[in-house]
């Protein structure tokens, strides 16, 4: 039994009692929110922020992910821009700039403005982001944009190289997901944009900074950007000297599954079967450690569960999203998953911030995040805007200390028994196995079922050379990422406690770790400078990784052939029986 520190999760209210019609905003905007967004009631953060921004005051907005922060600044921005007389035109220059950390969030924010601007069609929004052709972006800038949404690098590029791109008339500057911008190393770029805005725009403007957390870096950026701001904070701040208490949506249910390393693939499979088949389906987002792991899992589940469900009324698409994909492919996947009624998205932390995908029922975290706040951001992809949702994190026995880390931040996660999960899916054994096993095969026990299911996955991997190559790359990149956690997390995620042979089994591989490690030099996996997208200064070198992959840790004594399940105790026969 896992001994976890007692705690209670904090939640903040999402919806308020205020209607958008109660605010002093144009009736056309209220109608647009009702007809195109399907909302009439403001969330708490909207209730607090909209009056501040309608008054023209600067604002520092802190609220949990999924609380409706985008509309909290978009509605007052559109209202004030549509009030300007004579009416704004495309030829009149840029009047508002919104800085966001990722391309996906840029596209999503632009689409929000595009929909909202139907209430005032002369206000034209546009998006500038990496991955798009700069030539076509320059043409759009010359044609005229009133509101520009962009990523820092591309905005800097146009400010320095595009003559028609000026901030002289920009009355609004919004920095969204400020904490994420800093995490991704954009502090210098954002500071430069702020400085250029203040140089070029001589009149008083409105600046807004939004963040889920208030770190020293965020406060430093706020000091540079904002002028005597009003702080909008829905949740109660942590007390002085305490660790930050993260706030999660009230409708979020949180669970952990403690799984043996070698059963990690089966645990994930059963979670997806439970979500897609046993229950009413819906959308699932699966967070994985590396891009190679994402490629492998998406291909594997598409070829097994995707095919199995193809001829049923529970058809499910398995898609992927990570930073190594082209911008066109990322945008297509995002739109497809957002608009679908059911599906599974395999992704890295590129999708953990800001993305607003409706009706996500389940979040599965297959790896311990780099920091506890990353757990919160991943979990925040579900239970958005007052909805209900679940998050399940898979933990190896050596990783359960992460529960205490979460407890220190007032996050309580309940246990979901692995056997209970397997039992729910065991009822589907005939549907799952009938097309892939001997019809006469008897699956008398849960262990028989799990063993057969694992064999199906392994056979699929070894039947396709491309899939086998993906599995090997996924395993190697997972090993690398495991050795690259920041120092603060290494007591929780101990590389030497990881059974590499069992991890290979979790990737449906039959080779020994030493055989797989020999491929490291010839075929380095994606993100070889750090599977989580960064490289900690004290992380293992390539040579150390190859050495560790090639030998078994003496601390790990679990049998390679152990099923990982706790066998039920058999009663001893009495002498008289």
Higher per-residue confidence, 277 vs 360: 360
547: Cβ contacts below 8 Å, ≥ 6 apart: none
Give the separation between CA 105 and CA 449, rounded to whole angstroms. Answer: 42
State the pTM of this model. 0.70
161: Cβ contacts below 8 Å, ≥ 6 apart: none
What was the pLDDT predicted at 84?
Answer: 96
DSSP code of residue 512: -
* In the predicted structure, residue 466 carries a pLDDT above the cut 90: yes
Closest CA to 59 of 180, 179, 178, 232: 232
What was the pLDDT predicted at 183?
Answer: 86
- φ/ψ (deg, to 5) at 380: -70, 0
The predicted model gives 444-460 an average pLDDT of 89
Give the best-scoring range by mean pLDDT among 108-122, 480-494, 532-546: 108-122
Does residue 170 contact residue 201 with C-beta atoms inside 8 Å? yes
Closest CA to 174 of 103, 45, 74, 47: 74
Q: Rounded to an integer, what is the distance from CA 397 to the centroid of its chain?
A: 24
Give the separation between CA 347 and CA 366, rounded to whole angstroms. Answer: 11
What was the pLDDT predicted at 375?
Answer: 92
Closest CA to 34 of 113, 114, 116: 116
Higher per-residue confidence, 313 vs 340: 340
* In the predicted structure, residue 40 carries a pLDDT above the cut 70: yes
* In the predicted structure, residue 541 carries a pLDDT above the cut 60: no
What was the pLDDT predicted at 459?
Answer: 95
Per-residue pLDDT tens digits for 215-235: 888 999 999 999 999 999 876
Per-residue pLDDT tens digits for 221-270: 999 999 999 999 876 433 333 445 677 877 899 999 999 999 999 999 99
Give the torsion sign (CA, 434, 439, 443, 449): negative
Lowest mean pLDDT among 20-34, 56-70, 347-361, 415-429: 347-361
Lowest mean pLDDT among 403-407, 411-415, 531-535: 531-535
What was the pLDDT predicted at 202?
Answer: 77
The predicted model gives 283-308 an average pLDDT of 94
Beta pairing class for 125-128 and 15-19: unpaired
Q: What is the DSSP string of 275-298?
A: IIIIS---EEEEE-SSHHHHHHHH
What was the pLDDT predicted at 434?
Answer: 61
Residue 217 CA neighbour count, 13 Å, CB half: 17
Provide the token pair at 576.
Answer: 């008289």
Higher per-residue confidence, 283 vs 443: 283
Q: Across 380-442, where does the E strand assignment appear?
A: 389-395, 414-415
What was the pLDDT predicted at 529?
Answer: 37
Lowest mean pLDDT among 155-164, 472-481, 558-567: 558-567
Beta pairing class for 283-287 and 343-347: parallel
Beta pairing class for 41-43 and 15-19: antiparallel
Closest CA to 258 of 407, 420, 452, 374: 420
End-to-end CA distance of the chain: 35
* HEC string for 215-261: CHHHHHHHHHHCCCCEEEECCCCCCCCCCCCCEEECCEEEEEEECCH
Instruction: Determine what percent of the chain is predicted with pLDDT higher than 70.
Output: 81
DSSP code of residue 303: I
What was the pLDDT predicted at 414?
Answer: 96
What was the pLDDT predicted at 238?
Answer: 35
Higher per-residue confidence, 414 vs 439: 414
What was the pLDDT predicted at 239?
Answer: 34
Provide the token pair at 474.
Answer: 């996924």
Lowest mean pLDDT among 21-25, 147-151, 276-280, 532-536: 532-536
| Helical packing angle, 291-301 and 465-482, nearest 10° | 140
Does residue 296 contact residue 264 with C-beta atoms inside 8 Å? no
The residues with which 287 forms a beta bridge, in sequence order, are 347, 365
Torsion of CA 483, 266, 356, 302, to 10 degrees: 110
The predicted model gives 298-319 an average pLDDT of 85
Give the separation between CA 457 and CA 266, rounded to whole angstroms. Answer: 9
* In the predicted structure, residue 212 carries a pLDDT above the cut 50: yes
DSSP code of residue 524: P
* In the predicted structure, residue 573 carries a pLDDT above the cut 60: no
* Beta-carbon count within 10 A of 307 CB: 13
Closest CA to 422 of 258, 255, 266, 253: 266
Give the best-scoring range by mean pLDDT among 8-12, 178-182, 262-266, 349-353: 262-266
Higher per-residue confidence, 370 vs 239: 370
Q: List the domains of the chain with CATH numbers.
A: 10-233 (3.40.50.300), 247-549 (3.40.50.300)
The predicted model gives 529-553 an average pLDDT of 47
Does residue 75 contact residue 46 with C-beta atoms inside 8 Å? yes
Higher per-residue confidence, 462 vs 534: 462
CA separation, residue 231 to residues 11, 433, 487 (Å): 19, 57, 33
46: Cβ contacts below 8 Å, ≥ 6 apart: 16, 18, 68, 71, 72, 75
Torsion of CA 185, 188, 193, 197, to 10 degrees: 140
Give 159's pLDDT tier (boundaries 50, 70, 90). very high
What mean pLDDT value characterizes the chain? Answer: 84
Higher per-residue confidence, 510 vs 562: 510
The predicted model gives 198-215 an average pLDDT of 89
* In the predicted structure, residue 380 carries a pLDDT above the cut 60: yes
Higher per-residue confidence, 67 vs 8: 67
Give the separation between CA 411 and CA 255, rounded to whole angstroms. Answer: 11
* In the predicted structure, residue 416 carries a pLDDT above the cut 90: yes
Lowest mean pLDDT among 4-8, 25-29, 31-35, 325-329: 4-8
Instruction: Determine what percent of the chain is predicted with pLDDT higher than 90.
Output: 56
What was the pLDDT predicted at 439?
Answer: 55
Closest CA to 178 of 144, 135, 224, 132: 224
What was the pLDDT predicted at 321?
Answer: 92
* In the predicted structure, residue 568 carries a pLDDT above the cut 60: no
Closest CA to 72 of 251, 248, 233: 233
Task: Give the neighbor-by-neighbor strand order of the sheet with 206-211.
Answer: 125-128, 147-150, 96-99, 172-175, 206-211, 59-62, 230-233
The predicted model gives 27-55 an average pLDDT of 95
Helix (H, G, I), strand (E, B) or coil at 234: coil
Per-residue pLDDT tens digits for 489-531: 988 999 999 999 999 999 999 999 888 877 655 555 554 434 4
Lowest mean pLDDT among 61-75, 130-144, 288-302, 418-432: 418-432
Give 438's pLDDT tier (boundaries 50, 70, 90). low
Does residue 512 contact residue 501 with C-beta atoms inside 8 Å? yes
Closest CA to 14 of 386, 390, 389, 387: 386
526: Cβ contacts below 8 Å, ≥ 6 apart: 290, 291, 292, 295, 324, 473, 477
Give the torsion sign (CA, 325, 328, 329, 334): positive
Does residue 262 contact residue 451 with C-beta atoms inside 8 Å? no
Give the separation between CA 411 and CA 245, rounded to whole angstroms. Answer: 8
């Amino acid at each position: 039994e896992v001994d976890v520190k007692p705690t209670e999760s904090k939640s903040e209210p999402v919806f308020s009692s205020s209607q958008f019609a109660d605010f002093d905003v144009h009736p056309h905007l209220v109608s647009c929110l009702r007809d195109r967004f399907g909302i009439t009631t403001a969330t708490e953060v909207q209730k607090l922020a909209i009056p501040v921004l309608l008054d023209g005051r600067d604002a520092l907005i802190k609220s949990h992910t999924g609380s409706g922060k985008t509309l909290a600044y978009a509605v007052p921005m559109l209202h004030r821009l549509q009030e300007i007389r004579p009416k704004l035109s495309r030829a009149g220059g840029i009047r508002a700039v919104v800085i966001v950390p990722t391309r996906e969030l840029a596209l999503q924010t632009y689409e929000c403005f595009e929909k909202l601007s139907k209430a005032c069609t002369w206000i034209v929004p546009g998006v500038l982001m990496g991955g798009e052709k700069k030539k076509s972006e320059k043409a759009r800038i010359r044609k005229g944009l009133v509101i520009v949404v962009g990523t820092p690098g591309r905005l800097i590029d146009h400010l320095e190289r595009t003559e028609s791109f000026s901030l002289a008339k920009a009355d609004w500057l919004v920095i969204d997901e400020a904490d994420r911008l800093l995490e991704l190393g954009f502090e210098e770029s954002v500071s430069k944009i702020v400085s250029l805005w203040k140089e070029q725009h001589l009149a008083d403007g409105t600046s807004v900074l939004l963040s889920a957390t208030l770190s020293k870096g965020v406060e430093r950026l706020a000091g540079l950007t904002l002028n005597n701001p009003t702080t909008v904070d829905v949740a109660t701040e942590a007390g002085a000297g305490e660790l930050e208490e993260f706030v999660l949506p009230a409708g979020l249910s949180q669970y952990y599954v403690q799984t043996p390393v070698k059963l990690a693939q089966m645990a994930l499979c059963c979670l997806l079967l439970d979500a897609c088949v046993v229950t009413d389906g819906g959308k699932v987002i699966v967070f994985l450690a590396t891009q190679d792991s994402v490629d492998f899992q998406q291909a594997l589940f598409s070829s097994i569960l995707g095919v199995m469900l193809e001829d049923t009324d529970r058809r499910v698409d398995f898609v992927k999203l990570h930073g190594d994909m082209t911008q066109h492919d990322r945008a297509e996947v995002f739109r497809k998953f957002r608009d679908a009624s059911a599906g599974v998205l395999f992704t890295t932390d590129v999708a953990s911030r800001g993305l607003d995908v409706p009706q996500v029922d389940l979040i599965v975290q297959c790896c311990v995040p780099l920091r506890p706040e990353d757990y919160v951001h991943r979990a925040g992809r579900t239970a958005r805007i007052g909805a209900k949702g679940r998050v399940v994190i898979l933990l190896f026995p050596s990783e359960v200390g992460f529960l205490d880390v979460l407890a220190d931040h007032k996050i309580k996660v309940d246990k979901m028994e692995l056997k209970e999960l397997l039992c729910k899916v065991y009822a589907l054994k005939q549907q799952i196995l009938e097309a892939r096993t001997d019809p006469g095969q008897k699956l008398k026990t849960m262990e028989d079922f799990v063993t057969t299911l694992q064999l199906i996955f392994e056979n699929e991997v070894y039947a396709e050379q491309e899939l086998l190559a993906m599995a090997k790359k996924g395993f190697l990149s997972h090993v690398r990422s495991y050795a690259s956690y920041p120092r603060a997390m290494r007591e929780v995620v101990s590389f030497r406690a990881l059974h590499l042979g069992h991890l290979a089994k979790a990737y449906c591989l039959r080779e020994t770790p030493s055989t797989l490690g020999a491929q490291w030099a010839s075929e380095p996996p994606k993100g070889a400078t750090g599977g989580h997208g960064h490289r900690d200064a004290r992380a293992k070198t390539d040579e150390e990784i190859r050495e560790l992959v090639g030998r078994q840790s003496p601390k790990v004594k679990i049998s390679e052939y152990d099923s990982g399940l706790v066998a039920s105790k058999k009663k001893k026969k009495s002498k008289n029986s």
